[in-house]
Structure 1
Amino acid sequence: MTSYPGSGDAARQRRDYTPEWLGNLADDVTMEASVLTGIIKGPQAVREILSFARTLYDYQDFHVIGRYGDADFVEDYTATVHGEPIGSIVVVRFNEAGQTQNIVINHRPLNSVLLWSKLMGEHFAGTDYADHFLQPEDIDKLQGRREGP
């Protein structure tokens, strides 16, 4: 099992974090992530997906969080999802009006990315967002599993 260095301090294991940038999304905001099979576009889609995604964390242990330069925001944290370790780097870019324009989220390791995408796919099955996540059969293929002989 992969582990990521967290602080080990239970007081730093946040369960209540709401990103400040989530409340000010541009009309043409985009989001890319290692758990997605495409680019999410628009504030409603970004909010719906991130609102559910945030419920999957057992906790978040932040190493870095805040402004980076004049037009960027960064989050670097470790966490667990269903007990599995996951590391995340989030880079947010703002437009000239100060609205969130682009969100890029990179998770690691691959097994946690696959778990995350599976959980998201299950939750959003039958919705307009379902195609943005791996389906169980895709995950089985990636993990080298096959059905039948």
Structure 2
Amino acid sequence: MLLLDKGADINAQGGRWGNALQVASAGGHEAVVKMLLDKGADVNAQGGCYGNALQAASHRGNEAVGGCYGNALQAASHRGNEAVVKMLLDKGANVNAQGGEYDNALYAASYVGYKTVVKMLLNKGADVNAQGGRFGNALQAASYRHYEAVVKVLLAWGAKSS
């Protein structure tokens, strides 16, 4: 991208979309998203009408996002998108970031039963007993939804019921 080669601030904030990463995500331009991330775009950046880049991308895919996800990692975890979760974690997404309806990525993945994503998050340091969300923590959310495989993983990592 010519602008980046000329010294443009990759994380500049402003306008309806908040930043370049968010606008590329909203447009579904995967190659541009990858390039921006490779050039140092802040994967945890907040702002714009969708809150962050992954929310913009999710909305573009007709996912009813609204403001329910606190950050990109939560949104990807809730959708079970292992490739995006891995990319975000590899680029430094905060695995324990709080906010939104699900309050953290581990809770979001547990609530919808994505065992592989739960394991990925735990392996990157997710707090297995982080409190938040409607049910209190990831173990309670997985238990409520009857995701036995996720419950077993969480218990093996030391999850407590309260």
- Normalising by structure 1, report the TM-score: 0.30
Structure having the larger proportion of residues in strand: 1
Q: TM-score, normalised to structure 2's length?
A: 0.28
